[in-house]
Amino acid sequence: MRTRTGMALLLGAWIAAAGSLAAQTATAARPQAESRLDAAFTWNSMRGPIAGGGSFWMQGAGFQLHEQFWRGLGVVADIAGTHTANIGSTDVGLDLLTVTFGPRCTWSRHRFSIYGQGLVGQAFGFHSLFPAPNGATTSDNSLAALAGGGMNIRVTPRIAVRLLEAGWLHTQLPNTASNVQNNFTLATGIVLRLR
């Protein structure tokens, strides 16, 4: 059931992205509808909860592809992977891959741009232990919802530095408590303007 809901939301995100790209094509001829395409390569850090109390940190990397099509409005695809070798003091590790899509709103002034976004997709957990009806599995997946924002500073016309991105990542991977994780995410990196 959880996988079907996640897949339905993922399909909805793809449809929304396709609609946004169609809107970009329709407005491409207007001078105020300057289209921009950029890619961001980031170092990611995530603070996750431990079932029963406490928290742990994960480190990793991410990639974002962002298309801005009309007055700061755009769509973004975000792929992020994080890892920890030890959740708390359990000697159990976790690798987490999230693939999310959704809208982004950007406000730019001089060399600075600030954005907010809301993304949905899938979270894939592996190289860990997840409770299951017949014992435990080493991998599982769930819905992923990511909300947050960040700030870039332009260094050249084609290169910007992502000073900070912060967000809330909601996942529903099986654990020994509520099967819900509310994670705090941070990222920094470099942004390349492709168009």
Q: Give the CATH number of domain 1-19+97-195.
A: 2.40.160
Q: Which amino acid is at 114?
A: I
Report the pLDDT value the prediction gives residue 79, as an integer from 0 to 100.
98
Q: What is the spatial distance between Cα 40 and Cα 43, in angstroms, rounded to a whole number?
A: 10
Mean pLDDT along residues 37-42: 97
Residue 67 has pLDDT above 90, yes or no: yes
pLDDT in tens, 163-179: 999 999 999 999 888 89
Phi, psi of 149, rounded to the nearest 5 degrees: -170, 180
In degrees, to the nearest 5, what angle opens at C-alpha 143 toward C-alphas 89 and 186? 55
Q: What is the spatial distance between Cα 162 and Cα 164, in angstroms, rounded to a whole number?
A: 6
Q: Are 166 and 186 in contact (CB under 8 A)?
A: yes
DSSP-derived secondary structure letter, 92: -
Lowest pLDDT segment from 9-18, 64-73, 161-170, 185-194: 9-18
Taking the model in full, what pTM does it have? 0.80
The two structure tokens encoding residue 63: 């990639």
Q: Label residue 120 left, alpha or beta by phi (over 0 means left) and psi (-120 to 50 means alpha).
A: beta
The two structure tokens encoding residue 31: 């001078």
Helix (H, G, I), strand (E, B) or coil at 22: helix
Specify which residues 38 forms β-bridges with: 66, 193
Residue 76 has pLDDT above 70, yes or no: yes
Residue 90 has pLDDT above 90, yes or no: no
Helix (H, G, I), strand (E, B) or coil at 53: coil
Report the pLDDT value the prediction gives residue 96, as an integer from 0 to 100.
97
Report the pLDDT value the prediction gives residue 64, as an integer from 0 to 100.
98
Q: Which amino acid is at 115?
A: Y
Locate all alpha helices (DSSP H) within 69-162, ordered by sequence: none
Q: Domain coordinates of the chain in residue numbers?
A: 1-19+97-195
Q: What is the spatial distance between Cα 76 and Cα 19, in angstroms, rounded to a whole number?
A: 13
Calculate the alpha carbon distances from 15 to 50, 75, 145, 154 in Å: 35, 12, 17, 31
Mean pLDDT along residues 175-184: 90
Which single residue is written with the structure tokens 């962002």?
66
